[in-house]
Amino acid sequence: MKKNKVLLVANWKMNPDTYEKADKLFQESVHVASQAKKVKTVLCIPYPWLTDFSHKHQKVVAFGGQDASIEQAGSFTGEVSPKMLTSSGVEYVIIGHSERRALGETDILIAQKVIASLKAGLKVILCLGEKSRDDHGEYLMFLREQIINSLGKIQKRYLKKLIIAYEPVWAIGGGDDEAMKPTDLHEISIFIKKILVEMYGQDSGTSIPILYGGSVSPDNAKDLINLGEVQGLLVGHLSLNSKKFSELLKNIE
């Protein structure tokens, strides 16, 4: 049986601040990604430069949007539709990132975005994760409700393009000590799969890939994937440092 590539999603967020810096980072990222045969690299680049870069090196890296509207076209100033992304050569889109949720996006809105993006043909990376942990396991109930509500009523035929990115908010942006322990990640991965199986059945539920994000580093990446039993990683600030990004890819390989 052919083993799927590890999925590495690089979320640049609102960085860098100039086209020149972005172009340099893009060229460096493509160079290191071209040397990783066991990893599929997805670059989620800010919208102003996304279309320009997405027409270059598509055989080396894939491209992702950082968000998408629930609408495909119309009088929605400042919005970017899923259809626009697919037309621009974009294959993936991040929906429900914790930073978007912090701005007020609800599970209901996120579910609408997920469905709109899937219908447009995009592969959706749905971000989930609790803000904090407690000793009584209430965070598990929070996570369960977040998964169910953020997925809404997705038809089974769209599930092949769905990816879950587990990003515990408490673990984002720190060092190795703040990252989730691989054994704990494994338990959460099983928990998420269990909910997905309840929603969509054994075959469909277990086939949905799970990524991890939160203080990922070149040192802990391999254990997070192998021991945490996830299918890839979602990284933020680390992807803006081409040297560390290169180390991360080499260690995953």
Catalytic positions: 97, 167
Contacts of 44 (CB under 8 A, 6+ apart): 9, 10, 11, 12, 63, 64, 65, 66, 92, 94
What is the separation, in whole angstroms, between the first and last Cα of the chain? 19
Q: Which of 235, 225, 214, 164 is nearest to 15 (CA)?
A: 235
Distances (CA, A) of 89 to 17, 67, 121, 128: 23, 15, 11, 26
Report DSSP state, residue 4: P
Report the distance separating Cα 70 and Cα 93, nearest Å. 12
